[in-house]
Amino acid sequence: MREKAEAVIIGGGVTGCGTAYSLAKKGLTDVVVLERGGLCTGASGRCGGGIRQQFTTEANIALAMESVRLFEQLSEELDTDIEYEQGGYLIIAYEDDVDQFRKNVRLQNSLGLHSRFITPAEAQEIVPLLNTDPIAGATFCQTDGHANPFRVVHGYARKAQEMGVEINKFTNVTDIVAVDGHIQAVRTDKGTVKTDTVVNAAGAHSRDIAAMVGVDLPNKPYRHEILVTEPLEHVLDPMVISFKTGIYFSQQKHGSIIGGIGDPEEPSSYNLSGSLRFLKRMARTMVELVPAFGHLNVLRQWAGLYDVTPDAQPILGWTEGVDRFCQANGYSGHGFMVAPKVTELVAELIVDGKPSMPIDDLTLSRFEGEITGEAYVVG
Ligand SMILES: Cc1cc2nc3c(=O)[nH]c(=O)nc-3n(C[C@H](O)[C@H](O)[C@H](O)COP(=O)(O)OP(=O)(O)OC[C@H]3O[C@@H](n4cnc5c(N)ncnc54)[C@H](O)[C@@H]3O)c2cc1C
């Protein structure tokens, strides 16, 4: 492991590896990534791979739209097929969602996103197997979609390494040394790296990393469970999602359905075990929307952690009180889809001193004032 580096990134998920790649692209290659497991050990390797731009806050819509622009060229840029499909996101609307969803579409359209409110019949044209009985409509955006997170993370990591970044797997960060608010070094179980710049991309463990220098992040970890079915013939183009029931599912290139459902009764914890309760709730809710899936066999289920902030928006940028300590966490369940733009912005902040898009609304200090929460969250 290098003894010193211009920047140290903690976390080898999509944020850490994406930031390493973005820094290297900007010419900063004296960078060390520290990951306590393998790449994708955290949420990045456990997520649904969904990529949507239909949000309810301007900051999330802008980050997601810019990220889609970057996803569209990422396979070519990383020399790897990231299995990116733009089959759209169909957001199910129930009767009492309709007025708010129409407003959300107006906000999205005003920012240049081509989302639209559609009738149940139009929704069924997009998903022929959809049971439209319980629904009042949907919103749809064709340029939403999904990609393979493993391919994205490993693609970023490989390119960053080719440009000179050092990635250390199975290296646990145990402390950050700071004197008078200035970072001196990062300690690990494999040795110490001297640096004055640290990116906290430790996902649901970002709060513990921040605590090492006395910074209190408001992030909380929540278990989210997800499953994959046996493959079937192609029947589903978009990701189908409902914020009311918390369900989402899409069909992958190889034919399997991957999907999950949020649980309002889930307490904050680092629990990663699978539950029968999830399987039952997931099966019941999915089969209500797509009865034909009733015969599908589930191959595997697993769990990952959402890193949730009080307004369900990420925490990005420098930290008051600790010089050159950059936050890149708190994605609240949608960090994969915004990673291309977020990691570019973090690299711009570190190298140029200023990101190309304002991130003032996303810094840690926003919690000192009034906050507007993102509503489109799988809770
Ligand atoms: C079930 C589920 C479904 C999801 N679906 C979607 C989706 O469809 N679309 C979407 O955009 N997002 C989704 N998400 C959210 C998404 O997975 C995360 O927001 C995103 O992967 C965060 O990436 P990250 O790199 O910031 O964090 P992570 O991928 O969690 O990476 C953080 C890394 O830091 C490492 N680390 C922690 N502590 C230390 C330490 N002390 N020393 C060294 N390393 C450390 C961890 O091992 C981990 O690998 C989902 C999440 C879950 C759990």
Would you state the pLDDT for residue 73?
98
pLDDT at 357 over 90: yes
**Residue 51 Cα, ligand 1 centroid: separation in angstroms?**
15
The domain ranges of the chain are 7-47+150-219+311-368, 86-142+220-308
Q: Is the CB of 334 under 6 A from ligand 1?
A: yes
Second CATH level (architecture) for the domain 86-142+220-308: 2-Layer Sandwich (3.30)
Count CB atoms within 10 A of the CB of residue 245. Answer: 20
Sign for the CA dihedral angle at 225, 230, 231, 237 comes to negative
In this structure, the residue with its CA closest to atom 20 of ligand 1 is 335
> Atom of ligand 1 at shortest distance to CA of 17?
25
pLDDT at 195 over 80: yes
Q: Which residues contact 125 (CB under 8 A, 6 or more apart)?
A: none
Count CB atoms within 10 A of the CB of residue 227. Answer: 22
Is 129:235 a contact under the CB 8 Å cutoff? yes
**Residue 176 Cα, ligand 1 centroid: separation in angstroms?**
21
Distance from the first to the final alpha carbon of the chain? 40
- Band of the pLDDT at 93, cuts 50, 70, 90? very high
> Atom of ligand 1 at shortest distance to CA of 338?
11
Q: What is the model's pTM?
A: 0.96
Q: Which residues contact 56 (CB under 8 A, 6 or more apart)?
A: 104, 107, 374, 375, 376
Q: Which CATH class is domain 7-47+150-219+311-368?
A: alpha beta
- Band of the pLDDT at 207, cuts 50, 70, 90? very high
Would you state the pLDDT for residue 211?
98
**DSSP letters of 241-252?**
E-TTT-EEEEE-
> Atom of ligand 1 at shortest distance to CA of 13?
25
- DSSP letter, residue 85: B
How far apart (Å, rounded) are the C-alpha atoms in residues 142 and 119?
Answer: 16
pLDDT digits (tens, 9 = 90+) for 31-72: 999 999 999 999 999 999 999 999 999 989 999 999 999 999
pLDDT at 375 over 90: no
Q: Is the CB of 304 under 6 A from ligand 1?
A: yes
Between strands 191-194 and 247-251, the pairing is: unpaired
How far apart (Å, rounded) are the C-alpha atoms in residues 188 and 88?
Answer: 42
pLDDT at 20 over 90: yes
Name the 3-class secondary structure at 86. Answer: coil
> Atom of ligand 1 at shortest distance to CA of 201?
26
pLDDT digits (tens, 9 = 90+) for 243-269: 999 999 999 989 999 999 999 999 999
Q: Which amino acid is at 148?
A: N
Between strands 198-200 and 322-329, the pairing is: parallel
pLDDT at 104 over 90: yes
Q: Is the CB of 269 under 6 A from ligand 1?
A: no
Would you state the pLDDT for residue 379?
73
pLDDT digits (tens, 9 = 90+) for 156-182: 999 999 999 999 999 999 999 999 999
How far apart (Å, rounded) are the C-alpha atoms in residues 5 and 125?
Answer: 54
